[in-house]
Amino acid sequence: MSFSVRRFNFAGAVLSLCLFFISVNSSFSQGKYELNVAIRYDMPRYEASGNDATFDPINVIVSIGGKRIINSDNLSTRYGYGLQITGSMKLFKTDYIKALGGFSFTQLASKYTVPNENDSFYGVRLYVFSIAAGLQVNPIGIHRFYPSVVGLFRFNEFGGETYHFAGLDFFVVSPRFGYSAGMDLNYKFSKSVGMSFGMRYNYDNWLNKQTAETNFSDEHAINFSDLQSAANGLTHDRRIVYVSILTGINIYFK
Amino acid sequence: MKRSITLNILIVLIFFSVIPQLRAQPIPDISSYSQTIKLSCLKSANDKNLFLLSKLDLNRSLLDTIRPAKDDKIPVEKKNRFHPVRFAVVTGGLVTAWLGMHIYYSNTWWKDRAHYFKYAEDPYYARDIDKLSHIYTANLISVSSAKFYEWSGLNPTLALVVGSSTAIAYETYIEINDGLSPNWGFDWGDMAGNFIGALFPIAQHFVKPLRSFNIKWSFEPSWINRKLRNYPDLLDDYTSMKFWLTVSPYDLLPKKVQRYYPAFLGFGVGFNLQNASHATGATNAFKEYYLAFDIDVTKLPGKTEFLKKMKEVLNFYHIPMPGIKVYKNTVWYGLLF
């Protein structure tokens, strides 16, 4: 039995997409406001990700690469999810550029099974509540089917915990500034309802990284340090970065 | 071969592009035409004779056949008159209740306030039964405060929106204070429960079939016994409470069947926690599931506005009825609290 590998017909695919686009893209009269409610699946990157968390049952501590989360080299999350609600407003008479504003919640997490204990879990959870403002660019305007490019500047309230059943060490919630950038493909079912599918690149502590050299606020409450310094034990900065795929509902208002 | 693949892709793409065009066309609004007919009939006839009446009735029945009355979807809102004094009473009452709960919590849950704020999830200590409590409480606050706002003169939709906002504001306030308490944290799972509970009545308002589903609560007599003894963690005592998701099937049944079915009779799925307390911990805790009959209080007699509102609030309590524990073991109950 033999298999032949065919080359991907790029020209055919482009032609197909163009025809699809032309066939569906009947124009819609567009309202001034729009609301998008979307759910996300997040994939942690850089120091946000990791798979080297271990649990010490004697001292009841979760360690990452042998260090407590207070100064671990990464934050050892593997996946995440989120919910975001974004409103947009037309800035000009055309639909090409819209102002965006909204908020979102993100949880990056990991879950490990304690060796020899099937129903006993430990891991890390990081939480980000964001308020965001930015722009949406619709290169071809708004039609039945249209792409959009999105950029958001985000104010983030960042926190987290290590856990074994209940929380063990907690990050004191502290503010960071970051951004999200990406693109969406939107499809309008009617004049008032549509759906979107897209992706984002998120960098949640782009600005305002802290050395937080006085690390403990309480016995188990830790100030989050993400800027390396000689005193805080970090070997490098810790970046909270994740890539998201998202899908949502668009509601168009007059 | 390549061509056929491309052709197939094209066919699929065009098929999907055509689907939206095949949607049912909206039914034309013929009310304006029928109105014209009515007016012309009235002009041509000086008195309302039988012919005219039958014509009008024909128009009406034609309209009803083609386009269902809007009343089926959204209840017609009466024109409400705003009562400033009632509104002040309601607002004052809610603020007083808020303050009362704040004082209670300040002496219990939030006794040792921290100087920092933290997020934390607590799915373990109550095996997520507390999430049901959040859904239930937000739902109850949302509906009951909406009823009070309605009484003070707000129209039902606005009252519901204000009621839901009240519930979300109050529950968020609780959660923020949890975040400032060393033994707790701001739990996004709890917040999700709050939003679901607070927004569910609005969804019910606009989606008629959802009105057949309710979230209810019941308690065992031992809970009152503990209350009288000032047992700590009273509101957190999930082992003596059950939360119910109930369905009242009457409105979902075909009209032919409705004649034979008692309107008040429903069914519920109950959730409960065992072997958990702050004293003993939650290591051996487990959930229990129940099935039971339920009474839809709103379907009981009483048609005055006051009684209707009262029944809607009372419907948040699951009246003890025969039931069965289906997990972890099977137990039949003559009366399941």
**Mean pLDDT (whole number) for B13-29:** 41
Q: What is the 3-state secondary structure (H, E, C) of B240-307?
A: HEEEEEEECHHHHCCHHHHCCCCCCEEEEEEEEEECCECCCECCCCEEEEEEEEEECHHHCCCCCHHH
pLDDT at residue number A93: 83
Nearest CA in chain A to B181: A221
CB contact under 8 A, B185 and A217: no
First-last CA distance in chain A: 60
% of chain B exceeding 70 in pLDDT: 73
Global pTM exceeds 0.80 = no
Find out whether B145 and B93 touch, Cβ atoms under 8 Å.
no
pLDDT digits (tens, 9 = 90+) for A2-23: 444 555 676 777 666 655 555 5
- Report CB contact under 8 Å: B20, A127: no
> E-assigned strands of B166-232?
213-219
pLDDT score, position B51: 39
Q: Do B182 and A167 touch (CB under 8 A)?
A: no
Gap between the Cα atoms of A215 and A167, Å rounded: 18
Interface with chain B: mutation pick from A10, A17, A19, A24, highest number of B CBs within 10 Å = A24
Average pLDDT over residues B24-47: 41
pLDDT of residue A98: 93
Q: Chain A 120-179, CB below 8 Å of chain B: which residues?
A: 125, 127, 144, 159-161, 163, 165-167, 170-173
Answer yes or no: do A160 and B119 touch at CB < 8 A: yes
CA–CA distances in Å: residue B147 to residues A73, B15, B73, B158, B300: 54, 49, 20, 11, 18
Q: Is B111 exposed, middle or buried (0-12, 13-18, 19+ CB in 10 A)?
A: exposed
* B193 contact A CB<8A: no
User: Who contacts B241 (Cβ-Cβ below 8 Å, separation ≥6)?
Assistant: B133, B217, B218, B219, B220, B223, B272
Distant-in-sequence contacts of A64-70, Cβ < 8 A, 24+ apart: A64/A124, A67/A233, A68/A169, A69/A124, A69/A160, A69/A162, A69/A169, A69/A171, A69/A222, A70/A169, A70/A215, A70/A216, A70/A222, A70/A225, A70/A233
Q: Which residue of B has its CA nearest to A21?
A: B17
Domain spans, chain A:
31-253
- Give the 3-state secondary structure of residue B158: helix
**Does B186 contact chain A (CB < 8 Å)?**
yes
CA distance B119 to chain A (A): 6
> For B246-304, what is each residue's pLDDT tens digit?
999 999 999 999 999 999 999 999 999 888 776 667 777 888 999 999 999 999 998 88
Residues 6+ apart with CB under 8 A from A233: A67, A70, A71
On whether any CB of chain A is under 8 Å from the CB of B6, the answer is yes
d(C-alpha B187, C-alpha B175), whole Å: 7
Lowest mean per-residue pLDDT among A72-86, A233-247, B109-123, B316-330 = B109-123
Q: Do B188 and A107 count as a contact with CB atoms less than 8 A apart?
A: yes
Q: What is the pLDDT of residue B52?
A: 39
Q: Helix B84-106 to helix B156-179 angle, to the nearest 10 degrees?
A: 20
Q: Which amino acid is at B67?
A: R
User: Where would I find the H helices in chain A?
Assistant: 10-24
pLDDT for the residue numbered B71:
45
φ, ψ of residue B242 to 5 degrees: the values are: -135, 145
Decide yes or no: CATH 2.40.160.20 for domain A31-253: yes
Picking from A77, A173, A176 by the largest number of B CB atoms within 10 A of its own CB, the best residue to mutate is: A173
Would you call B17 an interface residue with chain A, using a CB distance cutoff of 8 Å?
Answer: yes
Phi-psi region of B230 (alpha: psi -120 to 50; beta: other; left: phi over 0): left
Q: Which residues of B touch A60 (CB under 8 A)?
A: none
For residue A121, the chain B residue with the least C-alpha distance is B124
Q: In the structure encoding, which two tokens stand for residue A171, read together? A: 């990050």
Residue with the bigger pLDDT between B319 and B67: it is: B319
Taking the CA of residue B117 and the nearest CA in chain A, the distance in Å comes to: 6
pLDDT of residue B9: 47
Residue type, B323: G
Q: Helix, strand or coil for residue B125? A: coil
Contact state of A15 with B6 under an 8 Å Cβ cutoff: yes
Residues of A in contact with B1 (CB under 8 A): 6
**Cβ within 8 Å, pair B6-A217:** no
Ranking A14-23, A109-118, A138-147, A235-244 by mean pLDDT, the lowest is: A14-23
* pLDDT at residue number B8: 43
Contact B125 A166 (CB under 8 A): yes
Q: Best interface-test mutation with B: which of A6, A23, A125 has the largest number of B CBs within 10 A? A: A23
Among B4, B115, B119, most A C-beta atoms within 10 A, so best to mutate, is B119
